[in-house]
Structure 1
Amino acid sequence: MNRIDTAALARWMDGAGLAADSPLEGLRPISGGTQNVMVRFERGGREFVLRRGPWYLRPPSNDALRREIRVMAALSTTEVPHPRLIAACEDETVLGGAVGYLMEPVDGFNPGVELPPLHSADPAVRHRMGLAMVDALAALGTFDHVAVGLAGLGRPRGFLERQVPRWLRELDSYAEHRGWPGPGIPGIPAVADWLERNRPTRWAPGLLHGDYHMANVMFSRTGPQVAAVVDWEMCTVGDPLLDLGWLLATWPDEEGRSPLGGTLAGAGGLATGAELTARCAERTTRDLKAVAWYEVLACFKLGILLEGTHARACAGKAPVETGDRLHTAALRLFERARLRITAA
């Protein structure tokens, strides 16, 4: 926590009129993510959550947070559950070179790291949690992103065509990290080839979260409802069905195995992937015939993304234990992709 310049943060909050001239009290980290930093604190009797880029800033870190800030502001006019934005801090001198923002605390829990007694004891509640995630996803995929000022957020034209080449280039770029031995992930070329040969040709643009899995959702402590979808730095305008693919790619299988692990994943009693897909079909007019392709693309993209943290860890730019854990997750994601291709 001593890496945050609380005096600079307090001066910036004074200028923004946020409980001015009061001390920052009770600073404590919020766990659950592997990249960005979140801190909860009180000032003037009000609670705040600060979110900023990672301690080891990468070239795209601040642009990703600026994108997230823009989307958080736009979501305030929608029914999509999300943390409420208080104020954005784009002055990089305040947070040690990072962009960040303040948001309202969410009254909920992260199922990747905990389950309250109600949820841990009742499999029916856990079953409905997955369906609630699909409902929140449907709300995101159906609202008018143009009407809320997000038309220029991404480049929807050619979105699906860009995916495989873009992420293969990303994988190649990890060679700049000294000490990284290479991905060591079986099946990357074969999965890439299958994706290129089976790419859907018709889809409708919309806003997608970009990293939609159970650890990026907070649930109500009193039931299965989604309290907020969090971690919006990968959002863009593209094909929203990739979010469904992402959810399926990271969802526990019938034996409770998930590439990302987590407390909810190990608890059992969850809806199956088929049930999640059926629920989505009830909530959207989008064509789900190619859902397997979106799931495989999600495995491919997320696996490469997680391998990037492993490469940075090899170079001393991220914790070694985190890098090793995410490399294992990448291996599991590509294994799942190969199994999904075989089943398709």
Structure 2
Amino acid sequence: MKPLSGGSQNELYLVDRGGEQMALRRPPARDVAASAQVLMREARLLRALAGTDVPHARLRGVTDDPAVIGAPFYVMDLVDGWSPMNGGWAAPFDTDLEARRGLAIELVDGAAKMARVDWRAQGLEGFGKPDGFLERQVDRWLSHLSGYKFRDIPGLDETARWLREHTPRTFEPGIMHGDYQFANVMYRHGAPAKLAAIIDWEMATIGDPLLDLGWVLVGWPPEGDAMKYARYLDYGGMPPRDDMLEHYARVSGRDVSYVDYYVILARFKLAIVLEASVARHVKGEADDRVARFGPIVLELMEFAASLSRTTSLR
């Protein structure tokens, strides 16, 4: 087996068997017990996606028996494609802005296809706790932050208050990736743009899929053009937000008129998630690479609070 890049929680390896290449995913050696449950959830999700039109790596096999290789693992198809996280936009998307537009439409298309899967029919009953999902979000993430908070985050209280006051009364539960963005998809080689697979399902659950749409739009133009730290790719050539919303609504069949709530919630949650890494760095428990998250956290919360003041959702 040869190590492959990809995934933040579990290890990925290339397996070559009889000339056929596959990918094996297992927990890190330092944290097998804690990561095994997440790994088995990923495998269950991939199995459930079989037969759907959601781009994903086909599951080949899974076991929670550590006797085989020393840890639980699963094997899936090796995705033939490229990731924007491996050096930015691949050719021709690095220079052809019209072709790059297609990458965005494909990204939101993947989220829309996830949202329309009949998750109960696919065997995902009990995979998440959709009842009260949105009502739990603010308190859950504030509680999470309280375990490591070391500085003031301007806009935090204002955003939390707005989110509590504007939580949608109802939503249609569905499969939610939980960290849906360019960093967690792969594209087929060459133009036109085509999504090859959605990857890294560690945070997947049954919740409100519109939060995945909000996650996509965290730094989207034109509002996101003012962000100095939170973007990690060149958004030149990207379609306007309205085009993204129209495509998502048409494919998913979901109402996107309340999307600002989900963008604000996504910024709020992402800021708190990244702040955990910043706190570890301050304590000397993380390397210097995560120091760059410091200003990103503040910017995300600033933009969450700013949007809450200007949105027409009242």
Is TM > 0.5 for Structure 1 vs Structure 2? yes
Moved more, 36-45 or 208-217: 36-45
Whether the 8 Å CA contact 1:183–1:307 is kept in 2: the answer is no
1:321-340 correspondence to structure 2 within 5 Å: 321-340=288-307
**Could you say which residue in structure 2 is the equivalent of 1:300?**
268
Q: Which amino acid aligns with 2:16?
A: E
- Which runs of 5 or more structure 1 residues have no equivalent in the other structure? 1-23, 176-181
Name the % identity.
38
**Within 1, Cα distance between the matches of 2:108 and 2:310?**
23
Shift of 1:173: 2.1
**Could you say which residue in structure 1 is the equivalent of 2:83?**
110
Match of 1:67 among 28, 32, 41: 41
**Could you say which residue in structure 1 is the equivalent of 2:5?**
30
- Which runs of 5 or more structure 2 residues have no equivalent in the other structure? none
**Within 1, Cα distance between the matches of 2:31 and 2:12?**
14
**Within 2, Cα distance between the matches of 1:329 and 1:93?**
43
Judged with a 3 Å threshold, the aligned counterparts in structure 2 of structure 1 residues 326 and 65 are, in CA distance, closer, same or farther, namely farther
**Could you say which residue in structure 2 is the equivalent of 1:151?**
125
**Could you say which residue in structure 1 is the equivalent of 2:255?**
287
The reply to whether residue 173 of structure 1 matches residue 140 of structure 2 is: no
Moved more, 333-342 or 306-315: 306-315
Q: CA RMSD in A?
A: 2.5
1:37-116 correspondence to structure 2 within 5 Å: 37-54=11-28, 57=31, 61-92=35-66, 99-114=72-87, 115-116=89-90
**Within 1, Cα distance between the matches of 2:204 and 2:93?**
29
Match of 1:51, SS state, is: strand
- How many residue pairs get aligned? The number is 308
The reply to whether residue 233 of structure 1 matches residue 207 of structure 2 is: no
**Could you say which residue in structure 1 is the equivalent of 2:231?**
261
**Within 2, Cα distance between the matches of 1:331 and 1:267?**
21
**Within 1, Cα distance between the matches of 2:26 and 2:220?**
28
Match of 1:120, SS state, is: coil
**Within 2, Cα distance between the matches of 1:55 and 1:342?**
46
Taking structure 1 as the reference length, what is the TM-score of the superposition? 0.81
1:182-261 correspondence to structure 2 within 5 Å: 182-223=150-191, 224-251=193-220, 253=222, 255=225, 257=227, 260-261=230-231
Match of 2:60, SS state, is: strand
Shift of 1:281: 2.3
**Within 2, Cα distance between the matches of 1:112 and 1:322?**
15
* CA displacement, residues 76-102 of structure 1 (integer Å, 9 cap, x when unaligned): 121100111222242346666x64322
**Within 2, Cα distance between the matches of 1:288 and 1:206?**
15
**Within 1, Cα distance between the matches of 2:165 and 2:217?**
21
Whether the 8 Å CA contact 1:124–1:269 is kept in 2: the answer is yes
**Within 1, Cα distance between the matches of 2:32 and 2:153?**
24
Shift of 1:269: 1.0
Whether the 8 Å CA contact 1:250–1:259 is kept in 2: the answer is no
Shift of 1:142: 0.5
Q: Which amino acid aligns with 1:280?
A: Y
Moved more, 265-274 or 251-260: 251-260
**Could you say which residue in structure 1 is the equivalent of 2:239?**
271
Match of 2:148, SS state, is: helix
